[in-house]
Amino acid sequence: MRWDQLFEDLEAQQAEWERRERETEAAEHTRAERARVTLGDRLAADVGRGVRVRLRGVGRLQGRLVDVGPDWLLLHDLHQPDHQERLVVLDALLAVEGLTGRVDDRPRRRSLRQALRAISRDRSRVRVHDQEGEHLSGTIDRVLADHLDLARHADDEPRRAGAVRGVVALPYDGIAMIQRL
């Protein structure tokens, strides 16, 4: 009888040890999975939702998350009558509120340069906000490897040779946001 109790006790200890081992492995697996989740993955899962962001040099913004790239996000300001677009450079992002916690880890292929080329092609007037709190208005003339050329002109004027006050090169790593006007 005592042998039966001893074996039952040993089996119970083994079962408990195996249960704890599985729990530990599951917790480690969960931590490893979470360690691979990027902010871009979380943003991509919440496209279509309203979010609040804080940007270096710009401050707080609120809008509907429209699209996400590997190094940018696009917000529509719902408080503006024309749902003004704001292209935010992720390197300038300081905080995001309103994320659900879901994850979309599918590859996002359109880079910041590709998004800027689209803005340049349609000749939109823009206001470029830098990470120091300054801004310049004009039209993006060229999108290059690590910077863009902005033809400076008044917000309310189209890009015409007579309206251009100069061209300035803006490195991408200094840009916080580009706002279509």
Q: What is the pTM of this model?
A: 0.81
Could you give the CA distance from residue 71 to residue 160 in angstroms, rounded to a whole number?
31
Could you give the CA distance from residue 165 to residue 30 in angstroms, rounded to a whole number?
55
Task: Estimate the share of the chain in helix, then strand, then coil, as percent rounded to the nearest 5.
Answer: 30, 35, 35
Per-residue pLDDT of the chain in tens (181 residues, 90 and over written 9):
577 776 677 787 777 887 787 777 766 765 666 577 899 999 999 999 999 999 999 999 999 999 999 999 999 987 776 668 999 999 999 999 999 989 998 888 899 999 999 999 999 999 999 999 999 999 999 999 999 999 999 888 888 888 999 999 999 999 999 999 8
- Measured over the CA atoms of residue 53, residue 54, residue 55 and residue 60, the dihedral's sign is positive
The answer to whether the 39-97 and 112-180 domains have the same CATH topology is: yes
The fold of 112-180 is SH3 type barrels. (2.30.30)
- Domain positions in the chain are 1-36, 39-97, 112-180
The fold of 39-97 is SH3 type barrels. (2.30.30)
